């Protein structure tokens, strides 16, 4: 019998799919489930201090099935809810999500979704978002794999042959909801890539999110910034020949930004004058700010034993930067989204070369005991770990989900400006 998890920090695949969909403008999610699925998602969003999405929380449409539908089937109830949803909500895309109950009963959500499409509405079904299908991060995967299969427009052979066209890249692997910094990170990456002469399909935080979903198969390349974007990126490559660059974490600092831009240039062939000017500007900007803090780094002795807690991409991004530029010793890296998978072979992240010890658990109790037993001097984690930092009397900074002790709107640790923010935040807590 599998052990229970104390203080879990993420929901099921359905919750992750909802977190993804509500951040795409003009998308209307419809849950085929008991009332508790929608309510639990609403409660989860109340743990933070920032409201998300146009349709979220208690406003999400749902069938709210009861015992009758669970026993005898809820297809007719779903048909009724879809009819009502199209009257109440205005949107460009309706997405029907399955749940544990409807999956076990075997309700035909594909047929109901097709009926909606036949009535002139653009619709997608997610039949694999049942809670037992995976954790929240798997829900993000399900959304994009479904979009690629059901919604995305086929590349135009005529336009594909044109030499002159605006090169476009997809950004995958930055998860809304479960990444507190996703807005700022997408803003940072979009600005950087725009400055390199590229058009960006970012999907979230833009009024043309649905149009970008439709055009996902027309992109010239895909950039993946966590393991949770690998599967849809591989699907785009296998089915449409769209190449992708995989990074286990977002770039932090000028060196990693330069690596990203250089590899993009090798893949797509960017304007060299523009590219070299951008790289030089990023280097100069980072050097200017880093030079201003070097004396403080030495005089205040900020070189500490650090524990970083969060999803793998966050631990890698933050931990790598702190070790290289802040002299931190990453004594413990605690990864909260480790999942054994046999359906895909994702490249190694290099995490075990970063930290003295790597732990894989999402159990808040285990994480607390690990922190207490490792002689940690600085803790970077989620708000769930703040009490143990207070107990040990060590500096603390919330960097991973959930974050409830500060407001995060456009803040990010990505890119050069994000690296500067990381320096500011870290030095502030350790001095």
145 and 24: one domain?
yes
111 and 38: one domain?
yes
22 and 104: one domain?
yes
The per-residue pLDDT for 70 is 72
Q: Is residue 146 part of a domain?
A: yes
Q: Is residue 8 part of a domain?
A: no
Q: Which two tokens stand for residue 33?
A: 């489930």
141 and 19: one domain?
yes
Q: Is residue 159 part of a domain?
A: no
278 and 312: one domain?
no
208 and 261: one domain?
yes
pTM, rounded to two decimals: 0.92
309 and 420: one domain?
yes
Residue where one domain finishes, among candidates 260, 290, 320? 290
Q: For the chain, how many structural domains are there in total?
A: 3
298 and 348: one domain?
yes
User: What distance, in Å, lies between the first and last C-alpha atoms of the chain?
Assistant: 47
115 and 222: one domain?
no
The per-residue pLDDT for 130 is 75
Residue 35 CA to residue 428 CA, distance in Å, equals 44
Burial per residue of 246-282, b for 16 or more beta-carbon CB atoms within 10 angstroms, e otherwise:
bbbbbbbbbbbbbebbeebbebbebeeeebeebbeeb
Dump pLDDT digits (tens) for 175-184: 998 899 999 9
414 and 299: one domain?
yes
Q: Is residue 3 part of a domain?
A: no
Residue where one domain finishes, among candidates 150, 175, 205? 150
* CATH number, residue 220: 3.40.50.1980
Q: Is residue 315 part of a domain?
A: yes
Task: Quote the domain boundaries for residue 375.
Answer: 294-430
Compare 344 and 21 and report the one with higher pLDDT. Answer: 21
Residue where one domain finishes, among candidates 290, 315, 347? 290
Dump pLDDT digits (tens) for 143-156: 999 999 998 876 66
Average pLDDT estimate for 34-48: 69
233 and 331: one domain?
no
């Amino acid at each position: 019998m599998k052990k229970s998890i104390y203080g879990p920090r993420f929901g099921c695949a359905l919750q992750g799919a909802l977190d993804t969909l509500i951040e795409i403008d003009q998308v209307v999610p419809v849950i085929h489930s008991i009332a508790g699925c929608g309510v639990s998602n609403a409660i989860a969003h109340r743990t933070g201090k920032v409201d998300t999405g146009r349709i979220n929380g208690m406003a999400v449409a749902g069938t709210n099935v009861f015992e009758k539908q669970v026993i005898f089937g809820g297809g007719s109830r779903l048909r009724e809810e879809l009819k009502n949803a199209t009257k109440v909500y205005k949107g460009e895309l309706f997405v029907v999500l399955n749940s544990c109950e409807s999956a076990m009963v075997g309700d035909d959500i594909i047929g109901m979704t097709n009926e909606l499409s036949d009535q002139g509405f653009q619709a997608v079904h997610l039949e694999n978002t049942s809670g037992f299908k995976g954790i929240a991060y798997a829900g993000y995967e399900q959304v994009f794999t479904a979009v690629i299969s059901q919604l995305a427009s086929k590349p135009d052979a005529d336009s594909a042959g044109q030499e002159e066209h605006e090169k476009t890249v997809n950004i995958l692997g930055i998860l809304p909801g479960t990444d507190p910094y996703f807005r700022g990170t997408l803003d940072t990456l979009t600005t950087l890539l725009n400055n390199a002469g590229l058009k960006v399909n970012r999907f979230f935080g833009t009024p043309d999110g649905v149009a970008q979903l439709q055009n996902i198969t027309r992109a010239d390349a895909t950039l993946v910034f966590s393991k949770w974007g690998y599967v849809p990126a591989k699907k785009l490559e296998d089915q449409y020949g769209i190449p992708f660059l995989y990074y286990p974490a977002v770039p932090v600092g000028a060196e990693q930004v330069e690596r990203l831009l250089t590899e993009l240039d090798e893949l797509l062939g960017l304007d060299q004058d523009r590219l070299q000017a951008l790289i030089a500007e990023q280097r100069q900007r980072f050097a200017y700010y880093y030079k201003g803090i070097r004396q403080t780094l030495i005089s205040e002795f900020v070189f500490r034993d650090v524990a970083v807690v969060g999803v793998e991409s966050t631990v890698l991004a933050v931990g790598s930067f702190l070790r290289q530029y802040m002299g931190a010793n990453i004594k413990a890296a605690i990864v909260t989204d480790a999942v054994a998978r046999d359906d895909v072979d994702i490249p190694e992240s290099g995490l075990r070369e970063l930290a003295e010890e790597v732990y894989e658990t999402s159990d808040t109790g285990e994480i607390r005991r690990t922190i207490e037993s490792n002689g940690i001097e600085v803790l970077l984690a989620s708000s769930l770990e703040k009490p143990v930092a207070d107990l040990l009397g060590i500096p603390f900074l919330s960097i991973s989900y959930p974050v409830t002790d500060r407001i995060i709107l456009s803040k990010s640790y990505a890119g050069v400006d994000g690296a500067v923010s990381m320096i500011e935040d870290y030095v502030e807590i350790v001095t």
